[in-house]
A and B are shown apart, each in its own frame.
Chain A
């Protein structure tokens, strides 16, 4: 049993690594797509909207299989971990786009007017006036997206990444104790997510409006 704990702890690190990198990728894609979706130009707006619709409108598992197995078929070779990070990242990025876009839209229109009236360009107004205010509105929704991603990262077990869920399966086939193994996996997920929510709360207080 001692040995099992160690394997689960190692598997947690893999889950954390994959989720962490996927979150970073999702944030990058989310910012780009959110800003694009607010562009004046249809040719910039349209791909961003298409990205969101497609990746929110299809199962993450299918997206992952397309990337990994489809990629192999087309000669695009990736390690399971790479495919997992990219697949999860692109998927969560679509949800993050909506969180970021929502936060930007929620900033009072008078703020944009005040910025533009002083002679600031659209980009300057976005960077100096809107985004700093949108930032505090997006922390919580992005936190919710990220927690969903951490839980959803279990799907990469299907392409044999040795993360938590995969490890549970592996020990079940050698020990025939599904109940214990899944409980153990659940406990590790709970710990990761609890710690992660602490982090989100800390960030939230950091970006809160000063008085």
Chain B
């Protein structure tokens, strides 16, 4: 395929990360290609969130390299220069959190328009138009003027997705975005993500929902104890895993 010759959008090389004496990432090598839907699975505490958060440098790293779109993300720069460099990078990397982190003092619409206007991506009018389009896309046209306190968890999470999309990112990172939701609200958020996947958005999804990963992802990465144990297409990793560690994880999970 033509595509595989292109540079991957994200390339991670021998990444290590410690919190004090605790080594959480023990040499990760990973690539994310444009348009790829990568699901990151593994037991709790295996380092999935930490890995995701190093990509946009919410966590700095101990050693190794993270490349995004041809730029070394964790370049060793003086503080000022590094801040500028990260601000520029982060505009292109959308992130959605487990606990939504919507701005409670802004309406849904304001949550979505704030960054594009402040950072000069759009004029106020453009940003508003764009935000209304995005809110419609996530099925929340009628909630544009609501404050987060009046939205359900599923609605909050869809606003958070719209907020991230408003910066027109090249990749979207999702960290267990349905874990804090009541079971009956999971579906609406999953559908929104699925829709993005169908539009070829590049996505890295940390999830414990194996069924969703199987349905949506084009590539599965299984992590345990700070290492990548196994990766490949969903059919292989989820149905015919090569590693005993993967099989144990899958059995345990399906048994629950």
Contacts and interface: CB of A to CB of B under 8 A. Distances in A.
A210 B147 contact: yes
Interface string A100-125: 00000000101101111111111010
A168 to B, nearest CB: 45
Contact of A119 (B88, B97, B102): B88
B149 A117 contact: no
Contact of B58 (A117, A119, A124): A117
Given A133-B104, A209-B147, A211-B147, A119 B87 contact: yes
Interface in A113-158: 113-122, 124, 128-129, 132-133
Nearest to A117: B95
B138 interface: no
B83 A120 contact: no
Interface of B is mostly: mixed
A128 B114 contact: yes
Interface residues of A, number: 22
Given A128-B114, A211-B147, A121 B83 contact: yes
A40 interface: yes
A114 B83 contact: no
B99 A110 contact: yes
Contacts of A132: 105
A116 to B, nearest CB: 7
Contacts of B150: 211
Contacts of B56: 117
Given A118-B115, A124-B118, A128-B118, A211 B99 contact: no
A88 B97 CA distance: 45
Given A113-B97, A211-B150, A121 B87 contact: yes
A129 B111 CA distance: 10
Contacts of B105: 132-133, 209-210
Contact of B93 (A108, A110, A117, A122): A117
Contacts of B17: none
Contacts of A124: 118
A128 to B, nearest CB: 7
Interface string B90-129: 1101110101011111000000001100110000000000
Nearest to B92: A119
Contacts of A108: 101
Contacts of B79: 40
Contacts of B32: none
Interface in B126-169: 147, 149-150, 163-164, 167
B127 to A, nearest CB: 13
B91 A122 contact: no
Contact of A117 (B90, B104, B147): B90
23 contacts: A108-B101, A110-B99, A111-B101, A113-B101, A114-B97, A116-B86, A116-B90, A117-B56, A117-B93, A117-B164, A118-B164, A119-B88, A119-B90, A119-B115, A120-B118, A120-B119, A129-B103, A132-B105, A133-B104, A133-B105, A210-B105, A211-B149, A211-B150
Given A120-B119, A211-B150, 6 more contacts: A114-B103, A116-B86, A118-B163, A121-B83, A124-B118, A210-B147
